[in-house]
Amino acid sequence: MKGTEMFSLEGKTALVTGAAYGIGFAIAEAFAAAGAKIAFNCRSREHMEKALEDYAAKGIDAKGYLCDVTDEKQVQEMVADIEKEVGVIDILVNNAGIIKRIPMTEMKAEEFREVIDIDLNAPFIVSKAVLPGMIKKGHGKIINVCSMMSELGRETVSAYAAAKGGLKMLTKNIASEYGEYNIQCNGIGPGYIATPQTAPLREKQPDGSRHPFDQFIVSKTPQARWGTPEDLMGPAVFLASGASDFVNGHILYVDGGILAYIGKQP
- Within the chain, residue ranges assigned H as helices are 22-33, 45-57, 72-85, 109-116, 122-137, 158-178, 212-220, 233-240
- DSSP state letters, 145-183: E--GGGT---TT-HHHHHHHHHHHHHHHHHHHHHGGGTE
Which string of b and e fits 148-184 if b means at least 16 CB within 10 Å? bbbbeeeeebbbbbbbbbbbbebbbebbeebeeeebb
Residue 81 phi/psi, 5-degree rounding, is -65, -40
160 is catalytic: yes
3-state secondary structure of 4: helix
Consecutive 10-residue runs of the chain (266 residues): their mean pLDDT?
Answer: 86 98 96 98 96 98 98 98 98 97 97 98 98 98 97 95 98 98 98 88 91 93 96 98 98 97 83
- List the catalytic residue out of 55, 65, 160, 192: 160
Question: CA 120 to CA 167: how far, in whole Å?
Answer: 6
Indicate the pTM of the whole model. 0.96
What is the per-residue pLDDT for 198? 84
Neighbours of 60 (CB within 10 A): 18
